[in-house]
Amino acid sequence: MTTIGTLYGIGVGPGDSELITVKGFKRLQQAPVVAFPAGLRGNLGIAEQIIQPWLQPHQIQLSLDFPYVQDAAVLTQAWNTAAQEVWKHLSQGNDVAFCSEGDVSFYSTFTYLAQAVQQIDLSAKIEIVPGVCSPMAAAAAVGIPLTIQSQRLTILPALYTVADLETALNTSDVVVLMKVSSVYAQVWSILEQHDLLSHSYVIERATWSNQVCYADLSDRPNLSLSYFSLMIIQIPGSR
């Protein structure tokens, strides 16, 4: 009877290839099959770019399609299709290392992939290897602590409302806004009302070779930002 392989979820960090953990590096290089989300329009995906220096010629590379949509049915079908592709290798006794940018438990597709694989076979073995996620990398990029002492941190994903942001600003000491580019102008206006622009930072492509950081947004109401941009807001004297 063939032993089922292990599915490893490896967080490979926000962009710099050297930010993968030692454990993640070992699991990646030991796996006969390496999977990652496919890039858009024929380009390499982010995780695939990050791990390029560490891939070995004998490893099978498995590019999995995960559409950037909100339709639950479309997403479920994509996760199930990806799980079947992964299962082909696991069922033959081969380990599969699925690599995700950042951390695999932080807004990652890996969560859904792992669930779909276990729906195929509950005995499927899953191992998670944590990684450096973008808020930590962004704080390091601008040289600030993300939190200190008893400060409370709120992280809002890409899809949030004005009410969500207002609540976060009123109940937190530090707020991180993920993928802020599409709502930057609206957020800037709210921060102006709260007198927080001088306490806010925007980091584009944290740890990438083309990283850009902005501190004190007071005179930056119209920044044109890339998709991979986040904002850190420090609320002074809130606690």
Residue-wise pLDDT for 9-34, tens only, equals 999 999 999 999 999 999 999 999 99
The two three-digit tokens of residue 227, written as one number: 């998709």
HSE at residue 222, side-chain half, CA atoms within 13 A, is 0
| Averaged pLDDT for residues 49-75 | 92
pLDDT at 211: 97
Give, in order, the Cα–Cα distances in Å from 210 to each of 55, 96, 203, 226.
23, 31, 11, 11
pLDDT at 43: 86
pTM attached to this predicted model = 0.91
**Which residues, other chains included, contact 161 with Cβ-Cβ below 8 Å and sequence gap of 6+?**
none
